[in-house]
Amino acid sequence: MSFQAYLDNIQTKTGKSPAELRAIAVKKGYANAKGLLPGFKAGDILAWLKRDFDLGHGHSMAIVALLKGTKKEGDR
């Protein structure tokens, strides 16, 4: 499955676009425009996404990659 397919599935499941999830992460203090803020790790994001959006590990890791800037929308 491509990275973009993960993001599309996340949007279908949660009703939130990747940009909306990033904005929520920023509002919650997990990240900023440059990436995850110091003191936060992937596990923190995984727990949040599972708790609030019922996302599994793989889909949550896609959001972590997006927040870290290691992947971007449209990546295959």
Q: pTM of this prediction?
A: 0.87
Mean pLDDT of the chain: 91
Residue 75's pLDDT is 64
For residue 36, the cross-strand partners are 31
Q: What is the mean predicted confidence (pLDDT) over 26-55?
A: 94
Q: Residue 27 is which amino acid? A: K
Residue 4's pLDDT is 87
Query: Shortest CA distance to 42 belongs to which of 10, 15, 67?
Result: 67
Q: Which tokens belong to 67?
A: 């927040």
34 has a pLDDT exceeding 80: yes
Q: Which tokens belong to 10?
A: 């996340």
Structure confidence by residue, pLDDT tens digits, 42-67: 999 999 999 999 999 999 999 999 99
Q: Which residue has the higher pLDDT, 75 or 17?
A: 17
DSSP letter at 56 equals -
Phi, psi dihedral angles at 56 (to 5 degrees): -80, 180
